[in-house]
Amino acid sequence: MRDVLPLEDLTVSQFLRRTARRFPDRPALEYLGRVWTYRELDEAVDLTARRLLAWGVSHGDRVGLWCETEPSTVLLLYALPRIGAAAALLNTSLQRAELAELLRRTDVDRLIVTDGYKGLDFPALCQGLCAELPRLQAVLYAGRSGLSGGFERLDDLTPSSEDALARAEERVTPRDIGCILYTSGTTSAPKAVMSSQYSRVNSGIQQAHDLGATPEDRFCVAMPIFHCFCLSVNVMAACAAGACLYLPESRRTAVILEALSRGRCTVLSSVPTMFHAILCRPDFPNWDVSSLRTGFIGGSLYPQELFRQINDGFGFTLLSSLGQTEATAGLTTAYLEDSLDVRAVTVGHFMDHVEGKIVHIETGEEQPAGQPGEICVRGYLVMDGYYGQPEETAKAIDEDGWLHTGDMGWLDEDGNIHLTGRLKELIIRGGENISPAEVELAANGSAEIQTCKALGVPDRHYGEEVCLCVVLREGARLDEAELRSRLTRRLAAFKVPRYVLFFDELPMTSTGKVRPAQLAQLARERLEL
């Protein structure tokens, strides 16, 4: 019989302090050869929290983190909830306009940035933001290069007293909002998902339990740290187990392989795209990944053949899962003892302490085993809501507390969930959520376009690619290269359509709405997919 761990009524700070007491001398964090023990990590978080207090951060504030995956980011992820502030985690691929819009919609009080990502200079892009956004009080630099763009530096702040931190920490409760993450739905703007410290802590504890994690494990971080997936299965799960969080210098496949080989990492969780990219390297057989023990795959759909290739290619026990930002992270998991067939074909069982059911998409009635419907969950992992959008929250969480995930599937007789698709039009490209409406809004800024529709088309590497179907105004001229060039200036790189198809007209309903299924079929035929 499998053990079920109890839920813990802890703040994020209490969670880390408990681990530091239990494993003070165990490695907690490693980056470029430097190692922090759990005692040192807890002390560094204290110092960071005291600096944030001196900077003016207080209980209930929303502090944006536009930060790459590096030690200062980990410290901030622990320090902000230690004083009761919510960390609003921002995608590092955002363009300035997208960043400003998210900060405005979430009433972010302060923003902390590192150096940048893939050619984006964060300090430079943040110039003038405070004047543009009256709610935004200040920008703080926490990078390593020293090129702060004139902003105050985190390391230069004179910390407040230890007593001030103790008083601040006393006010924090497990039910306080610990972080805000952004997810794209079918509306034109991303929603801001609020998660309590309680849900974040317990998600990490449950994920560590499902991984069978111990203090001997070394978690390789191969995902962006702003993803809910990474927060739970890496940052919080490692802390729950007293294990080491190993940060590669970047997420390039060669660097990840270097971390696995020389860093002797034992846990690797990522999206199908990353696993596939590593497997496709001609030199993959030359790397020693024998230290790997297990890891989760999630973030987007994948064929079972790919799951088997990853499981066998890495030589470890790969665990399938289903997650959602609105559900803190994972809501289902396969078990280590499950057969390869179960792990490859299903996304496992509903997690411990999670109520789950499949409901008919029209009647809402619970479906018996074998009958498809929408996957719904209830329990500690359900979000506190979308910030500033009570109506959208009510659409997602019904009056009985059930979160309607928008994912379709069915339960087999053993309680395993088989995914069949999504109710939502959300495009998931390599684990990144893309709102079709957001792409369409950017494209409609071009005067030549009469109408357009963005949709996802199958892709072996990314799972889905963005395809934009366009109808031009009569007499207008606009080619694919020019349109993609314009969209590159308006959207994050991963949102820019790989395919642009021009049509004389789009298939429409009698009420003037695009028929997405019919259009998707036309697009696949045109692209010979």
> What is the model's pLDDT at position 423?
74
Q: Which tokens belong to 27?
A: 């490695």
> What is the model's pLDDT at position 433?
76
User: In sequence order, which residues have a C-beta less than 8 Å from that of residue 283 and are 6 or more positions away?
Assistant: none
pLDDT band at 524 (very low <50, low <70, confident <90, very high): very high
pLDDT band at 184 (very low <50, low <70, confident <90, very high): low
Centre a 10 Å sphere on the Cβ of residue 238 and count the other Cβ atoms it contains.
Answer: 27
| Mean pLDDT (whole number) for 477-506 | 94
Centre a 10 Å sphere on the Cβ of residue 83 and count the other Cβ atoms it contains.
Answer: 26
CB 319 within 8 A of CB 348: yes
Q: Round to whole Å and give the CA distance between 271 and 430.
A: 7
Sole residue written with tokens 């349109």: 483
Q: Which tokens belong to 71?
A: 């030690």
Centre a 10 Å sphere on the Cβ of residue 320 and count the other Cβ atoms it contains.
Answer: 25
> What is the model's pLDDT at position 189?
65
Q: Round to whole Å and give the CA distance between 197 and 175.
A: 6
Q: Per-residue pLDDT tens for 431-447? A: 887 878 789 888 988 88
CB 81 within 8 A of CB 179: yes
The share of the chain scoring above pLDDT 90, in percent, equals 84
Question: Tell me, what DSSP letter sits at residue 388?
Answer: T
Exposure string for 380-391, b = 16+ CB within 10 A, e = fewer: bbbbbbbbebee
User: What is the dihedral sign for C-alpha 171, 174, 179, 181?
Assistant: negative
CB 74 within 8 A of CB 179: no
- Which residue would you say has higher pLDDT here, 186 or 386? 386
Domain residue ranges of the chain, discontinuous segments joined by +: 12-411, 428-527
State whether residue 183 is helix, strand or coil. strand
User: Which residues lie across from 433 on neighbouring strands?
Assistant: 428
> What is the model's pLDDT at position 517?
81
Q: Which tokens belong to 520?
A: 């998707």
Q: Which tokens belong to 318?
A: 């790969």
| Mean pLDDT (whole number) for 403-419 | 94
Q: Which of 73-87, 100-114, 311-325, 506-520 has the lowest mean pLDDT?
A: 506-520
Assigned superfamily of 428-527? ANL, C-terminal domain (3.30.300.30)
Q: State yes or no: pLDDT of 378 exceeds 80.
A: yes
Q: State yes or no: pLDDT of 451 exceeds 90.
A: no
| Mean pLDDT (whole number) for 275-304 | 92
Q: What mean pLDDT, rounded, does the chain reach?
A: 93
- The torsion angles phi and psi of 491, rounded to 5 degrees, stand at -130, 155
- Which residue would you say has higher pLDDT here, 9 or 430? 9
User: In sequence order, which residues have a C-beta less than 8 Å from that of residue 126 and are 6 or more positions away?
Assistant: 66, 99, 111, 113, 139, 149, 151
Q: What's the one-letter identity of residue 132?
A: E
> What is the model's pLDDT at position 16?
98
Q: What is the value of pTM for the model shown?
A: 0.86
Q: Per-residue pLDDT tens for 412-433? A: 999 999 987 677 677 889 988 7
Q: Round to whole Å and give the CA distance between 389 and 105.
A: 10
Give the alpha-carbon dihedral of 241, 376, 184, 514, to 10 degrees: 160
Q: State yes or no: pLDDT of 185 exceeds 60.
A: no
> What is the model's pLDDT at position 121?
96
| Mean pLDDT (whole number) for 21-33 | 98
pLDDT band at 273 (very low <50, low <70, confident <90, very high): confident
Q: Round to whole Å and give the CA distance between 426 and 121.
A: 29
- Which residue would you say has higher pLDDT here, 511 or 190? 190
The domain at 12-411 falls in which architecture? 3-Layer(aba) Sandwich (3.40)
Question: Tell me, what DSSP letter sits at residue 249?
Answer: S
Q: Per-residue pLDDT tens for 202-258? A: 999 999 999 999 999 999 999 999 999 999 999 999 999 999 999 999 999 999 999
Q: What's the one-letter identity of residue 120?
A: L
User: In sequence order, which residues have a C-beta less than 8 Å from that of residue 221 and are 6 or more positions away?
Assistant: 69, 230, 234, 245, 246, 247, 248
| Mean pLDDT (whole number) for 466-474 | 94
State whether residue 354 is helix, strand or coil. strand
pLDDT band at 8 (very low <50, low <70, confident <90, very high): very high
> What is the model's pLDDT at position 436?
83
Q: Round to whole Å and give the CA distance between 186 and 455.
A: 11
User: Which residues lie across from 281 on neighbouring strands?
Assistant: none
Strands of the sheet with 499-502, listed across from one edge: 449-459, 463-472, 499-502
Q: State yes or no: pLDDT of 509 exceeds 80.
A: no
Q: Per-residue pLDDT tens for 37-54? A: 999 999 999 999 999 999
